[in-house]
Amino acid sequence: MKSFLLALALSSSFVTAAVVEADVCVYGGTSGGVAAAVQAARMGKSVVIAEPGRHLGGMTSGGLSAVDIGDPRSVGGIAREYFTKLAATVGVTLAWDRPFESKGGGPATGGAYAIEPHKAEQVFNDLTREAGVKVHFGARLASVKKNGSHITEFVCEDGTVFRAKVFIDTTYEGDLMAKSGVAYTLMREGNAKYGETYNGIHYAEKFLPHTSYAQPGESGRLKGGQGVWDRDFPLDPYVVKGDPQSGLLPLIQPGEPGAPGEPAPGVQAYCYRLCLTTNPANMIPITPPSDYDPKRYEIVVRFIEACIANGDDMDLRWFSKHDALPNDKWDFNTATFGGNLPGASHAWPEASYAQRGKIGKEHENYHRGLLHFLATDLRVPEKVRKDMQRFGLPKDEFIDNGGWPHQIYVREARRMISELVMTEHHTFGRLVAPKPVSLGSYGTDTHEIRRIVKEGVVVREGKTAGGRDGAPPYGIGYAAIVPRQGECDNLLVTFALSASHTAYSSIRMEPVFMCTSQSAGTAACMAVNDKTPVQQVDYAKLKIRLEQDGQVIEWKHPATKKRTAH
């Protein structure tokens, strides 16, 4: 009798397991995931978003409030619609017909769309609701089933099954792509592989340690545009200064410097882009982690000593560029010693959800500890301490997470390898990618991969922050967002798209992800209509529809001046 009841219970669990069916399934409720889903729904398809977390919008609603965009004229479609709606929530009208103007010597690349995160999330929610997109939260991917090269369904950890005719992977990590057996890489390719200049192990001249920095203007930037948040002094990395046998200080990674241009593992440093407030009535104090130890930040003390020796009148900008948001809030970026935790991100792309949770907590604890250190430690200049003490977490942001962002900034993870690999030859305008579906326009902006010892001092390896030699916005080719047909014929990949490490450093901006994903949504519908593999979608028809929907896929403006990126 017991065995019968057990069998009945098991069979009932199979019967009641949720099965979600749609024409198009978008995996990942990121900014691009919403754009892809809304586009497909507007084209008359049944659409579902399966999001492993609890929120829509990814980084665009997860703390990245001062959005970098490059040239606004390169952005169209749903991305333009979204940011227009978002700006309207605070009575701002955006100018899409002209480039940004540089302010204070900085790059003319964005920050115009600086809106509170909860308002950003609400616009994403509104777009999906109005389009009739079904959204399933907590959809943590467990396995994928295929018939040959065709995905039939995927199953989540809670047993929910998602079936569709076409799938779109809009996760930062490319999780559905990886589970589907599509080729990808986590290596920084050597320069020799694609004939590049900034790939592999890299030491940018302007980020090599030196002394005698000039003093910044009111904007916090030097005349050349570099901010005080990017200062690399020749800091001693050892517990006992000058004694390698004493071991490395915390926050310094072991490892050999390597040869510039050689292939190497490692993804860009991650961080949380904090939204902080100066309004005491809306403030949650920033508490340190339970295991807080000021000794962890000894290298920061040495950085402060170097700054003071340089004659710097330090304030909080030395530890985080921060941009004003409405209602007494600020978007905190990172710095030489800011929110980034180089090395801690390297395991993230291939990690389980549980492991990612631990990695995310490691970043949070580090950052909380740093902010507490800056606010309280007497070795920190009084001006910095008082500046930091003004800020706290806002009560009305990320309310289910105590004011702390729910999305870590995954700047880079897996990158697909398809028939077309976008390289710096495309981003610098030396090659034109065929069949463009969106435009990229940002500079070559790579956050440090490692903080290591080179020639006896601390060095940020892998960091770049430059332009593209004045090249205009460039096309992202359709073949870069579809796998090789023999690997998977009904999947499009728009965040973990096919690009070299250094090309990805330019492509990886949220508005670009949104435009590219909308194009993927259009292509998915055409593949459904024509019963064809995504690789064989008629590009001529696709191009017409993209342009009808206001997408910008060709650059038709005069050459612009050279720009740099931060």
What per-residue confidence (pLDDT) applies to 562?
39
pLDDT tens by residue, 512-562: 999 999 999 999 999 999 999 999 999 999 999 999 999 999 999 876 543
Task: From residue 251, give the alpha-carbon distance in Å to each of 115, 243, 317, 340.
Answer: 32, 17, 20, 10
**pLDDT of 43 higher than 50:** yes
Backbone dihedral angles phi then psi of residue 166, each to the nearest 5 degrees? -135, 145
pLDDT over 90 percentage in the chain: 86
**pLDDT of 458 higher than 80:** yes
The pLDDT of 212-240, averaged and rounded, is 93
DSSP letters spanning 290-318: TT--GGGGHHHHHHHHHHHHTT----GGG
The pLDDT of 87-108, averaged and rounded, is 73
What per-residue confidence (pLDDT) applies to 136?
98
DSSP letters spanning 325-372: ETTTEEEE---TTSS--TTTTTTGGG--HHHHHHHHHHHHHHHHHHHH
Contacts of 152 (CB under 8 A, 6+ apart): 145, 146, 163
**pLDDT of 377 higher than 70:** yes
What per-residue confidence (pLDDT) applies to 187?
97
**pLDDT of 53 higher than 50:** yes
What per-residue confidence (pLDDT) applies to 450?
98
**pLDDT of 9 higher than 60:** no
Residue pair 191/544 in contact by the 8 Å Cβ criterion:
no
- Determine which of 89-103, 127-141, 297-311, 395-409 has the lowest per-residue pLDDT on average: 89-103
- Determine which of 94-98, 285-289, 435-439, 455-459 has the lowest per-residue pLDDT on average: 94-98
Residue 102: pLDDT band (50, 70, 90) is low
The pLDDT of 7-19, averaged and rounded, is 51
Which of 145 and 11 is assigned the larger pLDDT? 145
Task: From residue 551, give the alpha-carbon distance in Å to each of 57, 202, 261, 498, 543.
Answer: 20, 35, 36, 21, 9
Structure tokens at 351: 């990690």
The pLDDT of 104-127, averaged and rounded, is 77
Q: Single out the residue of 317, 341, 193, 355 nearest to residue 263, CA to CA.
A: 193
SS (H, E, C) 166-190: EEEECCCCCHHHHHCCCCEECEECC
pLDDT tens by residue, 380-421: 999 999 999 999 999 999 999 999 999 999 999 999 999 999
Residue 112: pLDDT band (50, 70, 90) is low
The pLDDT of 423-435, averaged and rounded, is 98
What per-residue confidence (pLDDT) applies to 484?
98
Q: What is the greatest pairwise CA distance in the chain?
A: 83
The pLDDT of 297-312, averaged and rounded, is 98
Structure tokens at 241: 């200064």
Residue 219: pLDDT band (50, 70, 90) is confident
When the pLDDT of each residue in the chain is averaged and rounded to a whole number, the result is 93
Query: Which uninterrupted H or E stretch holds 27?
Result: strand 19-27
pLDDT tens by residue, 162-194: 999 999 999 999 999 999 999 999 999 999 999
Residue pair 495/10 in contact by the 8 Å Cβ criterion:
no
Contacts of 98 (CB under 8 A, 6+ apart): 72, 73
Which of 560 and 143 is assigned the larger pLDDT? 143
Beta pairing class for 491-493 and 161-169: parallel
Residue 317: CB atoms within 10 Å: 19
Q: pTM higher than 0.85, yes or no? A: yes
**pLDDT of 26 higher than 80:** yes
Structure tokens at 31: 């900014």
What per-residue confidence (pLDDT) applies to 252?
98
**pLDDT of 279 higher than 50:** yes
Residue 66: pLDDT band (50, 70, 90) is confident
Contacts of 32 (CB under 8 A, 6+ apart): 58, 170, 494, 495, 510, 513, 514, 516, 517, 518
Which of 12 and 75 is assigned the larger pLDDT? 75
What per-residue confidence (pLDDT) applies to 225?
84
**pLDDT of 41 higher than 70:** yes
Residue 11: pLDDT band (50, 70, 90) is very low
Q: Which residues, in sequence order, are bridge partners of residue 130? A: none
* Angstrom distance (rounded) from CA 46 to CA 490: 16
Q: Provide the residue type at 168 as one letter.
A: I
